[in-house]
Chains A and B, each alone.
Chain A
Amino acid sequence: MISQFFVLSQRGDNIVFRDYRGEVQKGSAEIFFRKVKFWKDDGEEEAPPVFNVDGVNYFHVKVVGLLFVATTRVNVSPSLVLELLQRIARVIKDYLGVLNEDSLRKNFVLVYELLDEVIDFGYVQTTSTEVLKSYVFNEPIVVDAVRLQPLSPAAIFMQGTKRMPGTAVTKSVVANEPGGRKREEIFVDIIEKISVTFSSSGYILTSEIDGTIQMKSYLTGNPEIRLALNDDLLIGKGGRSIYDYRSSTGSGAVVLDDCNFHESVRLDSFDVDRTLSLVPPDGEFPVMNYRMTQEFKPPFRINTLVEEAGALKAEVIIKISAEFSASITANTIVVEMPLPKYTTRVSFGLEPGAVGQRTDFKEANRRLEWGLKKIVGGSEHTLRAKLTFSQESHGNITKEVGPVNMTFTIPMYNASKLQVKYLQIAKKSSTYNPYRWVRYVTQANSYVARI
């Protein structure tokens, strides 16, 4: 049961504010914002998504820099409220095409319309974009999408690559195309976040893939859809220890630890032929989430060398090797490494002829940063950094630096080998041939090499 819902800008202004039950004082947005901003004096810890001030519980999620907040005085399920906040953000995005402060401000009346139907007197009524369509009468005012921050993981497809129809992801479910007619199309995105920790000797300590099959349908008439996954897909690892690498792979089968499904998904024939059938509702939604700890080949190897070079000096060499096919290119790569706190100066040396690379020493938090626009599969890149210290290091320099952390995005690559074999639209018409987009992308979640 929710008492109030509001959205705050980064500066703490109310963009929308809806009071459903009148149980929480009107100044709650201010109380909330102050609390979040000044959670701990040292600023080292951020406020948790749920906290209580004077008997009022505040829930918040951060979406594209905006704070979506709910308050209540009763002891509700935190998952329910946080899930709901996230869902409200998604519904709004479905309607506005793009979610950001600008689009929210321009469309706040429409947002109020949505909020009226999503929650009544604190109780959730519906969060289905489709159902809500019949209650919403404002036309969305579309804002320019190009310079906007991406909201969903799917938005990463917009980065550069021409093959991706960028506008589709930011198309409102209700607004018509400029041409007046709606384009029949459906997007299926396989998005994987990978986490790998390498030991100092390069051995993989832990690895995990968290994947989502995300769907966004613009098909009229809600036809049924069948999605076929790998035939040899296995789910669950009966009896085996989750981190038992010896017995995995080899056969080539994809073994998921576990997965869950959107409520529209029917699993009637899933056990037989690994096919999911569903009638996709309007808007963006995850068809399936999955998790895998089966061994996989990490896309990058990181080699780091740290050596003392005199009394107040040290040298760091970081080498990145891309261990994937040359037809694939990773983009927006950032490599970070914490340096000793007494580091005063860093001079960088890149390979001769390096393009699209930048280096930086973040003095405030003593961090080395190395950015690369893209890395082609099979290539290697090296960074040399000479550090200057203000005091002598105590003994072992390697204890004072690291670990190296890396973030990247690799389109058209998926670490798990999970595939959508085919996407069938059950609509009988010879002329009906909608666009079908099946796209893969892998992102680093926590990609860490210890020193």
Chain B
Amino acid sequence: MAPPAQAHRSPSPSQPSGKGEVSDLKSQLRQLAGSRAPGIDDSKRELFKKVISYMTIGIDVSAVFGEMVMCSATSDIVLKKMCYLYVGNYAKVNPDLALLTINFLQRDCKDEDPMIRGLALRSLCSLRVANLVEYLVGPLGLGLKDNNSYVRTVAVIGVLKLYHISAPTCIDADFPPTLKHLMLNDPDPQVVANCLSALQEIWSLEASTSEEASREREALISKPVIYYLLNRIKEFSEWAQCLVLELVAKYVPLDSNEIFDIMNLLEDRLQHANGAVVLSTIKVFLHLTLSMTDVHQQVYERIKAPLLTLVSSGSPEQSYAVLSHLHILVMRAPFIFASDYKHFYCQYNEPSYVKKLKLEMLTAVANESNTYEIVTELCEYAANVDIPIARESIRAVGKIALQQYDVNAIVDRLLQFLEMEKDYVTAEALVLVKDLLRKYPQWSHDCIAVVGSISSQNVQEPKAKAALIWMLGEYSQDMQDAPYILESLTENWEEEPSAEVRLHLLTAVMKCFFKRPPETQKVLGAALAAGLADFHQDVHDRALFYYRLLQYNVSVAERVVNPPKQAVSVFADTQSSEIKDRIFDEFNSLSVVYQKPSYMFTDKDYRGPFEFSDELGNLSIAAESADNVVPAQGVEANDKDLLLSTSEKEEIRGATFNVSGYSAPLYDSSAASVQSELAIISSTSAGSAPSSSLAIDDLLGLGLSAAPAPEPASVPPSLKLNSKAILDPGTFQQKWRQLPISLSQEFSLSPEGVAALTTPQALLWHMQGHSIHCIASGGHSPNFKFFFFAQKAEESSNFLVECIINTSSAKAQVKIKADDQSTSQAFSDVFQSALSKFSV
């Protein structure tokens, strides 16, 4: 069934195979070329059509290039167009033959009919042959000045095509300034829009080598240009409006009046039937109001209805794109959408990619007032015939339970799932009950009664089996049969395919042993023996570890395996708030659909024009003050309330590590759970081998003890920095964009440092004392973001630093870019040493 794998389509039997037909065409074309018989154009049309249809299905018809060109001497516009299409397709692979076409194309560029002029110019520029560029400059120059707007729109894009064939030719001919002039003066809106597209592309690509281009690019988002475009917004086609709005979203207004003016002007764009226009407008609104918490929330309220309308009108594909954007907004501000939960109910005939998004939204908006209804709805889906969605629904119920609302009722529902006797429902429910018990140990009694009645034979999925085994070990004192179930599982050790399950079985048997030694002793021996003989490295190691631990000291072993437990307050989030903010910055792009920032899925070469404002875009606010110590207020502190949920989770991240004394199963990496158990030993028996325990701490980055100032700090730094270094923000931005990251590291902060970092300013003064200057900063506890720079004392070689500090985890993530890459390590040492001395 699979289509053939080779790059070129092998024609299906019903289609012509190629060769014979092509030579046939060749001779027929040749006959027609010289003929002047009446009706000749009709025969030509038929032949041309055949050629194009072969081309479409992937047959190489480049062999008839010469004949096609010969036949192109015609006044029939349909023939001309087909010929242009053909030539555009094959010129690149036949550069020599392409030369043949130049003549007639150049002639057509001077035709009386503007249509012909435009078509010819477009085809001329589409040849994509580098050694023909000299022929393009003249016609393009004329085309840009043509009195017909169609020809001008074609010429503007032609300039861009020329740039991609030969950038120097395009720049030397001074085309970009011409485009700029046209953009600001042409009466035709499509000419203006094309100029904007072309200039964005050209200047973004040029910016890496030319200061001027970089300035020009910045000028596109200057007030005069933005206002000029905004004032004409309604003249533009809907597609061009999207282009303009995308640009406006990057503009940073001076004051709130300006913001309101822009928003009032664009208000009616939210009623547009084209979803792309609405989303671009929403992006403008969201970005403009980032620093105005109240207004920002009003924007959320305002855009709700238009978004919901777009979701329900249009094709399923279009509504998916809109729904993805609604999803990201719901995840950022669930409380604003809490009363709209019914809109996120799944419909019978929706594709599963839509249902998945909706389930996530339902989970997010659940609160005290709507949880009951949402969970009831989700339980309907759990019984659904669509198994993947049924599974997701059960997981959603579990997530809501973990969010703490109305747990009582939910636990009952989950237990009902266990009794439904559908294997996949049982499997999902077991995993959830396990998570739930980790958070609410008080429910253990009810849950264990039900879990105890489940036969382990009916549970096959590794995750579910592991969860069941974990509960058997954890609650073995309450489950009468626990040792015997574990025994029968151990007997089937060889048949168990999943290493994860075997790991859990080892641990569960250990736990059970300490609670009910006489009944378990025999099983423990069997399990350890089986584990030691296991071919899987992790299983083997864990068995060996337990064995030696028991040999060393049984009571220590008990402390390791069965430590007093603390309930997990919140589970770690999978995505960092940094990533989420990045995605939000890239609103109305693929990042939202993929739920990844663009750098994760886009090749470097193609990031250019659309990556207009990277992380430094924010900095333009700080650019006005000369001393640069003034923080970019509000930029990072944007919509504080809305961000709360994500930053809270960030905080919790640290928290989960801190309660790692609780040896709960870590499913995603079974190796890590061994390590965390190791770490516990080192901290509980710290007295015996302090040095090794520190090494382990560092290795794991668990932050169990205050991170000591690392080794390099004690060595006097060899790099001398200029204490009076100056760098203007514009240059900083440009350099930041151009330079690659030469080092990316994570440092620890001293507890004193964390305590002193109540505002960003404190750190700024400190770092300045070490000749490291701040150019912009922002944020609120626990997340701060800084951009620093420093210069070498002897030469003007710069170091640029992005430093993100999270005070709750006492970590600083540092990215360093340097003019002189070879010294970046030395600088990193200096930076780290300075940071570690903060407030000490």
Contact = CB atoms under 8 A, between A and B. Distances in A.
To the question of whether A and B form a pair in one complex, the answer is yes
Interface of A: 1, 12-17, 19, 21-23, 25-27, 29-30, 33-34, 37-38, 44-46, 48-50, 52, 55, 57, 60-62, 73-80, 82-86, 108-109, 112-113, 116, 120-121, 123-128, 134-135, 137-138, 195, 197, 206, 208, 210, 212, 236, 241-243, 257-263, 286, 288-291, 338, 365-366, 394, 399-400, 403, 405, 445-448, 450
8 contacts: A13-B12, A38-B2, A45-B352, A48-B593, A77-B246, A109-B48, A447-B348, A450-B380
A338 B385 contact: yes
A30 B2 CA distance: 10
Contacts of B272: 260-261, 263
Contact of A403 (B242, B348, B603): B348
A121 B321 contact: no
B239 A84 contact: yes
B347 A121 contact: no
B276 interface: yes
Contacts of B317: 49, 60-62, 82, 85-86
B194 A116 contact: no
Contacts of B316: 49
Nearest to A57: B590
B274 A75 contact: no
Nearest to A55: B603
B602 A14 contact: no
A446 B348 contact: yes
Contacts of B89: 19
Interface of B: 1-9, 12, 48-49, 52-53, 56-58, 77-78, 81-82, 85, 89, 92, 115, 122, 128, 153-154, 157, 160-161, 164, 190, 194, 197, 237-240, 242, 246, 270-276, 278-280, 305-306, 308-310, 312-318, 320-322, 324-325, 339-340, 342-343, 345, 347-353, 380, 383, 385-388, 420-421, 586, 588-594, 598, 601-603, 605-611
A210 B312 contact: yes
Given A49-B320, A123-B197, 17 more contacts: A13-B57, A14-B58, A17-B56, A26-B58, A27-B7, A30-B5, A30-B7, A52-B594, A62-B317, A74-B606, A77-B276, A112-B82, A137-B78, A259-B271, A263-B274, A400-B383, A446-B348
Given A74-B606, A78-B593, A206 B345 contact: yes
Contact of A77 (B53, B242, B305, B340): B242
A112 B589 contact: no
Contacts of A73: 602-603, 605-606
A228 B68 CA distance: 56
Given A57-B590, A73-B602, A135 B115 contact: yes
B6 to A, nearest CB: 8
B590 A76 contact: yes
A14 B55 CA distance: 10
- Could you say which of A15, A84, A108, A258 has the most chain B C-beta atoms within 10 Å of its C-beta? A258
A interface secondary structure, majority = mixed
B224 to A, nearest CB: 24
B588 A30 contact: no
A108 B78 CA distance: 13
Contacts of B315: 61, 82, 86
Contacts of B420: 394, 399
7 smallest beta-carbon distances between A and B, as pairs: A446-B347, A49-B317, A80-B276, A258-B305, A27-B7, A124-B239, A289-B313
Contacts of B387: 44
A260 B273 contact: yes
A108 B53 contact: yes
Nearest to B49: A109
Contacts of A241: 339
Contacts of B313: 210, 212, 260, 286, 289, 291
A343 to B, nearest CB: 12
A141 to B, nearest CB: 11
B790 to A, nearest CB: 33
A33 B3 contact: yes
Contacts of B194: 120, 123, 125
B273 A263 contact: yes
Contacts of A338: 385
Contacts of B590: 50, 52, 57, 75-76, 78
A10 to B, nearest CB: 13
Contact of B321 (A79, A259, A405): A79
B interface secondary structure, majority = helix
A55 to B, nearest CB: 5
A366 B194 CA distance: 55
Given A22-B92, A80-B276, A291-B313, A206 B342 contact: yes
Nearest to A109: B49
Nearest to B324: A78
A243 B57 contact: no
Contacts of A26: 7-8, 58
Given A44-B388, A80-B276, A55 B157 contact: no
- Could you say which of B194, B279, B309, B312 has the most chain A C-beta atoms within 10 Å of its C-beta? B312
Contact of A50 (B273, B321, B350, B386): B321
Contact of A78 (B57, B306, B309, B321): B321
- Could you say which of B154, B240, B348 has the most chain A C-beta atoms within 10 Å of its C-beta? B348
A221 to B, nearest CB: 23
Contacts of A80: 239, 242, 276
B425 to A, nearest CB: 10
A83 B9 CA distance: 29
A112 B85 contact: yes
Given A76-B610, A109-B52, A116-B85, A50 B8 contact: no
B735 to A, nearest CB: 23
Nearest to B15: A13
A84 B81 CA distance: 23
A262 B314 CA distance: 13
A121 B161 contact: yes
A227 to B, nearest CB: 15
Contacts of A29: 9
B287 to A, nearest CB: 14
Contacts of B606: 23, 55, 73-75
Given A14-B9, A45-B353, A137-B78, A197 B345 contact: yes
- Could you say which of A16, A74, A135, A212 has the most chain B C-beta atoms within 10 Å of its C-beta? A74
Nearest to B9: A30
Nearest to B377: A205
B309 A25 contact: no
A260 B342 contact: no
A51 to B, nearest CB: 8
A75 B352 contact: no
A290 B309 CA distance: 7
Contacts of A290: 309
Contacts of B48: 109
B674 to A, nearest CB: 32
Contacts of A25: 7
